[in-house]
Structure 1
Amino acid sequence: MDVLDDDDNYSDKLILVQQNLRSMPKEIVERYADWTEHLDLSYNCLKDLSWLGEFEQLRYLVLDSNRMHESQLRTLNKPLPQLEVLMLNKNEFSDLTATIKLIRRLFPNLQYLSLHGNPICPDGLNLQPFSSYLKYDYEYYSNFIAQSLSKLKFLDHGLVQRSYSYESFPRYPITTTTRL
């Protein structure tokens, strides 16, 4: 396993991309947890995040493309109040309410969140051309998250806006026909 940490000079970055990790090896946690601020674990197969609570200096966490869903977040047994940036792109989060409740509990001071490419994110990556209400869907999704995470400043690709005026779904005139 290659650990990239800027020449072993105790950089604040730990990058373990494409290492086929299901959990973090104990030796890595013991060596790097005390000072790592930026952790990138993209393109792994993480199933257990219980070790993540040891990274008490962590401010920036990238867990893109890990086939994660809500159950993996539940393995984290203590909140990380110092975390400001969380990247969960291209995973398998499918329950918006459960996911955001977990994120709110585990990362209470989050300022940037990205969920592109997950079933819960109507961002067009997986839905085109099937959703004719993509703009409405994304506004509902982003407003729900903004209302749930009060300190969030950025979501996916833009600034958080805390109120939207939703378009109503098109109404078609109801016609009745009378049989003679």
Structure 2
Amino acid sequence: MQTPENNDSQLILVQQNLRTLPQELVKSHADHVEVLDLSHNCLKDLSWLAEFEQLRHLVLDNNRMHEAHLRTLTRPLPQLEILMLNKNEFNDLPTTMRLIRRFFPNLEYLSLHGNPICPDGLELQPFSSYLRYDYAYYSNYIAQSLSKLKFLDHGVVQRTYQYESFPLKNYAGKPLIQTTSF
């Protein structure tokens, strides 16, 4: 493993083939790091992340992560303001948002570009059915889930809800989607 780039408040360990953060790095950096970039690794375990009590900005792009990896967190990080999860494998929007809300309750910036849950057009397959409506639904769902969020992906969060984006009952009064309490 290469020596981490470090200016005391930043720890950058890009392309290190990490599955978890080594305990010696956690011990030596957790008490002062505010920016942590672990892009282009193979992270499977995030339990160590709770030790980073000063962390404000976390980049986990290109780690092939999905919802199960967020479940390895041991406690919330209420101080975290920026979370970058671009180009991972998150594919269940309600579950992903439930976990993000639980572990990162004060996020102001979230980016999920290139994940199956993000209809952003970045990973379009030929003849994709991507529509602006899809992104508006996704964006409103996330805005409703994270009340402090100011920026999502590439822009300012719009909290419009001016269309039928969250149908809870059909016309016969039966549920269209299952809802769970958080």
Matched residue pairs, number?
A: 164
Other-structure match for 1:22: 19
The CA distance in 2 between the partners of 1:63 and 1:113, in whole Å, is 11
Alpha-carbon offset, residue 166 of structure 1 = 3.6
Q: Which has the larger radius of gyration?
A: 1
Are residues 1:165 and 2:162 paired?
yes
Are residues 1:4 and 2:1 paired?
no
Q: Unpaired segments of 5 or more residues in structure 1?
A: 169-180
Are residues 1:116 and 2:113 paired?
yes
Are residues 1:93 and 2:90 paired?
yes
Other-structure match for 1:176: none
Amino acid at match of 2:92: D
Q: 1:4-153, aligned counterparts within 5 Å?
A: 4-6=5-7, 11-127=8-124, 129-153=126-150
Identity %: 75
Alpha-carbon offset, residue 68 of structure 1 = 0.1
Matched-pair contact (CA < 8 Å) for 2:55–2:79: yes
- SS class of match (1:14): strand
Rate the CA distance shift 1:165–1:133 in 2: closer, same or farther, 3 A: farther
* Cα deviation code 1:118-157 (max 9, x no counterpart): 0000000122553445200000000000001000000000
Matched-pair contact (CA < 8 Å) for 1:114–1:156: yes
Q: Unpaired segments of 5 or more residues in structure 2?
A: 166-182
Matched-pair contact (CA < 8 Å) for 1:81–1:109: yes
* Cα deviation code 1:45-97 (max 9, x no counterpart): 00000000000000000000000000000000100000000000000000000
Rate the CA distance shift 1:80–1:63 in 2: closer, same or farther, 3 A: same
CA-based RMSD of the aligned residues comes to 1.4
Amino acid at match of 1:4: E
TM-score of the superposed pair, with normalisation by structure 2:
0.87
The list of structure 1 runs, each at least 4 consecutive aligned residues, that deviate by more than 6 angstroms after superposition, is: none
Matched-pair contact (CA < 8 Å) for 1:136–1:166: no
